Amino acid sequence: MPDASAFSHPQRAQSSRPAHPTGGPAAAWGLLALGSGIGAIFVYLAREPQLDSHVPEFIAFSLAAGVLYLAAVYLVERFRPPGWSLVIVLAGAVGFRLIALPAAPPLSEDIYRYQWEGRAERAMLNPYTVSPHSPGLAGLGDPEHPIRTGASTPTIYPPLSELVFSWVATVSGYKSLFTLLDLLSVLVLLLLLDVRGQPLSRVLTYAWNPGVVVSFALCGHHDSLAVMTLLVASVFIIGGRPAMSIAFLALASLSKLYPAWLLPVFLRWTRASLLAVFGAVVLLGYLPFASAGTRIFSGLGDFARAWESNDSLFRLIRLAGNSQAQAELVSVTLLAGMVVYAIKKRLEPLRASLAVLAGMLFLSPDAFPWYFTWFVPFLCFYPEPPLLLASVVSVLGYAPVVAYAAGQPYRDSPLILALEYLPALAWLGIRGLRRPSIVAA
């Protein structure tokens, strides 16, 4: 097993690089001003009672918050504000979320599906075999928020998420829980930054990201569970606790499926025999729902066949003349190639996580805006400008809500997709040509 110290203090290998100037009080005041601007925008968004009917305004203000956020990231990276400015960063992180938390969740109906599945589980039903349109289950629905999307499809969520859904009964409870997990991720990031000897103020890259705040505190998406457990897995692998690391990677995969793609990378830094730990945890997670039998992945299969939304490279692969199945095969092959590359180049886990998860988002047939929160934590350690930009402009992925709120199909605009993805992908391409080792740097 490689020595964990090989990637716990990456700055030691960069001692020849020129040091950034240390900012004084002016840098801290700059952070305070930028944070105040972001907070004011969230006050406006949280007070809008019908945000689904004002999606263009939401996107415009979110992009404005993104500009302020990028300026704050630049300030932290370029001027290294004094240590006490961490108080401003953390106060902003908590403040933004407290502002957004009381608002009714806009832009997505996912949280109402969580609520429905929680009720189904408390009624001793298997969410992998029933759906909101199943006969005799009308009483589990919320008349004010009927399930419109996938109402005939069993759950697509893995078992740990299902377990968490059963813990909470109210929409505000889900928002509070997933925001708390989001804030726990901030604390785990602080621990990782400290272990690696990197400035703690870099936590701002995740803590102030508008897309993260919108996804969890405003909309109440459950992805914060997978983000937090994956970060804990990273802490354990850096701390030399391989079995615990693989166990938490399995828990992350039981929250959302995407962390499972990182299993080969983690095993490369631990030992192959720990595959048994991963398999055992996953098996235990699915065991309570075993009565579903072969139907346990039927909902996920229906989702994969029926949905293509806010995608970029996947759409280009499909438009090149491939069928949906062929495009999926090409995308999976390319993503597998990225995993192999990360292993061959011996990318340390945090760098590999950023590369693989960002690649996954660009190759996926579905890249909803909240999916971009998956790679944002790793930008705290490797703040790649094109990916920072992608995390900000991902808010354009909410544009189809305009038509959907009016009762029309959920469809993407090619122009919006180009505006969302072309700058970031072109920037990544140019940087890759100029510095082929960018991923491994």
Per-domain boundaries in the chain: 22-110+163-434
CA gyration radius, the chain: 21
Per DSSP, helices labelled H in 254-309 are 263-269, 275-286, 298-306
Residue with tokens 């995407």: 258
Rounded to whole angstroms, the Cα distance separating 26 from 4 reads 37
Quick check: 184 and 228 in contact, CB under 8 A?
A: yes
Q: Which of 409, 390, 407, 411 is nearest to 399 (CA)?
A: 411
Decide: helix, strand or coil at residue 144: coil
Rounded to whole angstroms, the Cα distance separating 87 from 28 reads 10
pLDDT in tens, the chain (441 residues): 555 555 555 544 343 344 555 667 888 899 999 999 999 999 999 999 888 889 999 999 999 999 999 999 999 999 888 888 999 999 999 999 999 999 999 998 899 999 999 999 999 999 999 999 999 888 888 888 888 888 899 999 999 999 999 999 999 999 999 999 999 999 999 999 999 999 999 999 999 999 999 999 999 999 999 999 999 999 999 999 999 999 999 999 999 999 999 999 999 999 999 999 999 999 999 999 999 998 999 988 888 887 889 999 999 999 998 998 999 999 999 999 999 999 999 999 999 999 999 999 999 999 999 999 999 999 999 999 999 999 999 999 999 877 666 666 778 889 999 999 999 999 999 987 776 544 444
Alpha carbon distance, N-terminus to C-terminus of the chain: 22
CA quadruple 317, 322, 325, 330: dihedral sign: negative
Q: Which of 332, 342, 338 is nearest to 257 (CA)?
A: 332
Q: How far is CA 440 from the centre of its chain?
A: 22
Quick check: 217 and 97 in contact, CB under 8 A?
A: yes
Token pair for 43: 């006050």
Rounded to whole angstroms, the Cα distance separating 402 from 56 reads 8
Strands in 84-222 per DSSP E? none
Decide: helix, strand or coil at residue 309: strand
In this prediction the pTM is: 0.92
CA quadruple 122, 296, 253, 114: dihedral sign: negative
Q: Which of 268, 242, 297 is nearest to 129 (CA)?
A: 297
| Integer CA distances (angstroms), 349 to 38, 176, 292, in order | 31, 30, 35
Residue with tokens 């969520």: 157
Q: Which of 319, 337, 338 is nearest to 327 (CA)?
A: 319
Amino acid 161: pLDDT: 97
Rounded to whole angstroms, the Cα distance separating 393 from 218 reads 17
Quick check: 223 and 253 in contact, CB under 8 A?
A: no
Residue-wise over 325-353: b if at least 16 C-beta within 10 A, else e?
eebbebbeebbeebbebbeeeebbbbbbb
Residue with tokens 């900000």: 392
Amino acid 22: pLDDT: 62
28: left (phi over 0), alpha (psi -120 to 50) or beta: alpha
Residue 159's contacts (CB-CB under 8 Å, 6 or more residues apart) are: 254, 285, 286, 288, 289
Rounded to whole angstroms, the Cα distance separating 312 from 421 reads 7
| Integer CA distances (angstroms), 157 to 28, 144, 223, 432, in order | 42, 23, 11, 35
DSSP string for 17-42: SPPPPPP-HHHHHHHHHHHHHHHHHH
Residue with tokens 């929250």: 255
